[in-house]
Amino acid sequence: MKTITISVDIPDELEARLLAAGPAQWGNTGAKPDIEHLVEFAQTLTLTREHFATDGDAELHGLFLDGTNTVLCHTGVSPNSPVHARILTGLWNALHAELSKEQAA
């Protein structure tokens, strides 16, 4: 295991959202066919719309590899989803930059 130290400047609105959301954990749904994953994802989107009382088309936010359509993760369609995607992107890029510096040295 590698230990690295990173320093990240966090805008106030991201800090507030991160603290309000609380800690996260890695997880998975278990193995199932694609159609069952799609059904569960649709149910999640429905629950989000009901919770935030939104209608109509919505943007699906997430973390993508730079310059591609390769999805690393989706953060959802809620009003909080763009901020969650920005937090994850910032952390990913800070780790990437730090590891790149190590390899270049």
Residue 9 lies in a domain: no
Residue 68 lies in a domain: yes
Residue 98 lies in a domain: yes
**Tokens 């959802």 sit on residue:** 76
Q: What pLDDT, in 10s, does the model give residues 13-34?
A: 999 999 999 999 999 999 999 9
This prediction has a pTM of 0.87
Question: By the 8 A CB rule, do 91 and 8 touch?
Answer: yes
pLDDT of residue 55: 87
Residue 50 lies in domain: 35-104
Residue 60 lies in a domain: yes
Q: What's the pLDDT band for 103 if we cut at 50, 70, 90?
A: confident
pLDDT of residue 101: 87
> What burial class does residue 94 get, using C-beta atoms within 10 Å of its C-beta: 0-12 exposed, 13-18 middle, 19+ buried?
middle
Q: What secondary structure does DSSP assign to 5-44, as a single string?
A: -------HHHHHHHHHH---------S--HHHHHHHHHHH
Q: What's the pLDDT band for 63 if we cut at 50, 70, 90?
A: very high
Residue 71 lies in a domain: yes
Strand 71-76 versus strand 61-64 pairing type = antiparallel
The single-letter DSSP state of residue 64 is E
Residue 14 lies in a domain: no
pLDDT of residue 52: 95
Residue 66 lies in a domain: yes
Question: By the 8 A CB rule, do 82 and 89 touch?
Answer: no
User: What total of structural domains would you count in the chain?
Assistant: 1
